[in-house]
Amino acid sequence: MRQLSIGSFLPLINKLIKHMKRIFLLLSIIVLLMSCNTDKTPEYALVSGKIINPLSDEVSITNNKGEKVLVAKLAEDGTFKDTIHEADGFYDFKAGNEVTRMYLKNGYDVNITLDTNEFDETVAYTGKGAEANNYQAQKYLVNEKNTGNPQELYALEEADFLSKTEANFKALNELADAVKDKSFAQIAKENLTISRAFQLLQYEPYHQFVTKNKDFKVSADFPNPYENLDLTDEELYKNNRVFAMIVHRKFIDEIMKETGTDRDAYIKASLEKLKAMPAGVLRDGLASDLFSYQEIYNKENADVVKEVLALIQNEETKQELITEVATMSKIAKGNKSPEFVNYENYKGGTTSLSDLKGKYLYIDVWATWCGPCKAEIPHLIKLEKQYHGKNITFVSISVDRKKDKDKWRAMIAEKNMVGVQLFADKDWKSDFVVNYGIKGIPRFILIDPDGNIVSSSAPRPSDPRIIELFKSLKI
């Protein structure tokens, strides 16, 4: 019998190896294709749409922090398409001066169409994510139909207000129940509960305002706005701005029951309450809110500032506040006021802060386009008349742009504005405005006869506390 050597098998072995390589390569390709076809949710949302009768050449989307996450240019036919990475939650979609609320998640591919001539009535969505967003659009229309003008709503007597808003709450819940995406429906109903609570909280102060009845109080039977809310929910606090406002309102109300309107006492009482809270997002947010009170930057509160900063866990937030403290401490009570030099005077020539020393100065930083600023003008005129000839000068500084100087002059004449009327040299970038950290107007500042700061954020003319402040200074 012929013996077979190992060499005689080599051709066969080589063929088998080549064949196995082909099989392995084929299997690898199949595995790769299978992995490529895996249904994995993208880490972004696609947003497209068409704006009919556009009022500008772009649209934008803003998150709950007020950050623009998308700015898209419109094509000639009004269409746009863009991407939002890590989309998760509610956003404001803005076209021109109109805004509508959107809900976006990773994986959504939603298309919006609207006509700016009938903005709210024409907002419509198609594509993946359309159901949640069409609910948002319908919710607005139902709410508007059922509650009408906010001023008229809050002017209603308590029983009528409760009846009308409760019926609206029921109708909106029925709208949410009809949503097939139950995870979104749950979020929607939770938001309705939060909005209802906020509406109840607003009733007493808003009713006082619109009816001019400052003594109005809700009855003992009025629903408890906080009853159905867990005010310790940190996720809601981070992601729902209305919920965060409610949490802050509860905190403020509890402290003010102890301290009244004394802000220094309020700051110190708040610190003690914050110390008793567990560390986390809620405590960070409530502690940060204290820095919105100008009084915290006063020299006598230096130790309080250190203690409040020590309570904040989020390093980014803490560093932002440390920077703010360094800036705002420069304009604390008792410090020399920042100067303005050679501002154009409505009556002719120029005026500097140094020209006005010798009397108290009540300074109004404003602009012709600012609605709240214009609302204060009648109160300012009345206040100036009341204190005319006394140891105080009323100064108004416009931060209008140079191109709007004629509008400034026209408004002064039209409204018979009194006091020293000045025009800032570089609008918002003027040194005086920057050094006072002014980011919103109107802003009122009170300076003593020696040029020292009494208050870098004084009460407005419409606020009765301004008279109390003037009396305390024997003006």
pLDDT in tens, 302-360: 888 899 999 999 999 999 888 888 888 888 889 999 999 999 999 999 999 999 999 99
Rounded CA gap, 356 and 359, in Å? 7
| Mean pLDDT of all residues in 358-367 | 97
166 plus 307 within the same structural domain: yes
Counting Cα atoms < 13 Å in the Cβ hemisphere of 70 gives: 27
Strand (E) or helix (H) holding 48 = strand 44-52
121 within a domain of the structure (yes/no):
yes
Q: For strand 420-423 and strand 392-398, is the pairing parallel, antiparallel, or unpaired? A: parallel
173 plus 318 within the same structural domain: yes
426 within a domain of the structure (yes/no):
yes
The string of pLDDT tens digits covering residues 234-288 is: 999 988 989 999 999 999 999 999 998 788 889 889 999 999 999 999 999 999 9
7 within a domain of the structure (yes/no):
no
The string of pLDDT tens digits covering residues 418-444 is: 999 999 999 999 999 999 989 889 999
Residue with tokens 């001539």: 117
Which of 277, 300, 331 represents a domain boundary (last residue)?
A: 331
346 plus 272 within the same structural domain: no
Beta bridge partners of 421: 396
Number of domains in the chain: 3
| Mean pLDDT of all residues in 456-460 | 92
Torsions phi, psi of 75, nearest 5? -75, 175
Rounded CA gap, 67 and 84, in Å? 12
396 within a domain of the structure (yes/no):
yes
Which of 331, 359, 387 represents a domain boundary (last residue)?
A: 331
At 301, the pLDDT band (50, 70, 90 cuts) reads: confident
DSSP string, 175-237: HHHT-S-HHHHHHHHHHHHHHHHHHHHHHHHHHHHHHT-TT----TTS--TTTT--TT-HHHH
- C-alpha pair distances (Å), 193 with each of 34, 182, 227: 45, 16, 10
Beta bridge partners of 10: none
Rounded CA gap, 459 and 469, in Å? 9
Which among 422, 432, 457, 447 has a CA at the least distance from the CA of 336?
A: 447
Q: Taking 90 as the threshold, does the pLDDT of residue 202 lie above it?
A: yes
Q: What is the pLDDT of residue 22?
A: 55
307 within a domain of the structure (yes/no):
yes
Report the mean per-residue pLDDT for the chain.
Answer: 90
Beta bridge partners of 363: 395, 445
Give the whole-number percent of the chain exceeding pLDDT 70: 92
272 within a domain of the structure (yes/no):
yes
Q: Taking 50 as the threshold, does the pLDDT of residue 8 lie above it?
A: no
315 plus 355 within the same structural domain: no
Q: What is the pLDDT of residue 150?
A: 92
The string of pLDDT tens digits covering residues 388-427 is: 999 999 999 999 999 999 999 999 999 999 999 999 999 9
| Mean pLDDT of all residues in 123-136 | 97
381 plus 466 within the same structural domain: yes
Q: For strand 109-115 and strand 44-52, is the pairing parallel, antiparallel, or unpaired? A: parallel
| Mean pLDDT of all residues in 162-185 | 96
409 plus 288 within the same structural domain: no
143 within a domain of the structure (yes/no):
no
At 41, the pLDDT band (50, 70, 90 cuts) reads: confident
CATH number for the domain that contains residue 69:
2.60.40
316 plus 349 within the same structural domain: no
Contacts of 340 (CB under 8 A, 6+ apart): 352, 353, 397, 422, 424, 425, 430, 431, 432
Strand (E) or helix (H) holding 250 = helix 241-259
218 plus 340 within the same structural domain: no
Length of the chain: 475
Q: What is the pLDDT of residue 346?
A: 97
Residue with tokens 């950050």: 67
Q: Taking 80 as the threshold, does the pLDDT of residue 151 lie above it?
A: yes
248 plus 303 within the same structural domain: yes
CATH number for the domain that contains residue 462:
3.40.30.10
| Mean pLDDT of all residues in 108-119 | 96
Q: What is the pLDDT of residue 20?
A: 52
At 461, the pLDDT band (50, 70, 90 cuts) reads: very high
Q: Taking 90 as the threshold, does the pLDDT of residue 379 lie above it?
A: yes
Q: Taking 60 as the threshold, does the pLDDT of residue 29 lie above it?
A: no
Q: What is the pLDDT of residue 347?
A: 95
Strand (E) or helix (H) holding 63 = none
Q: Taking 90 as the threshold, does the pLDDT of residue 167 lie above it?
A: yes
* Contact predicate 404/361, CB 8 Å: no
Which of 290, 314, 331 represents a domain boundary (last residue)?
A: 331
Domain that holds residue 324: 162-331
209 plus 320 within the same structural domain: yes
278 plus 357 within the same structural domain: no
22 within a domain of the structure (yes/no):
no
192 plus 87 within the same structural domain: no
Q: Taking 80 as the threshold, does the pLDDT of residue 76 lie above it?
A: yes
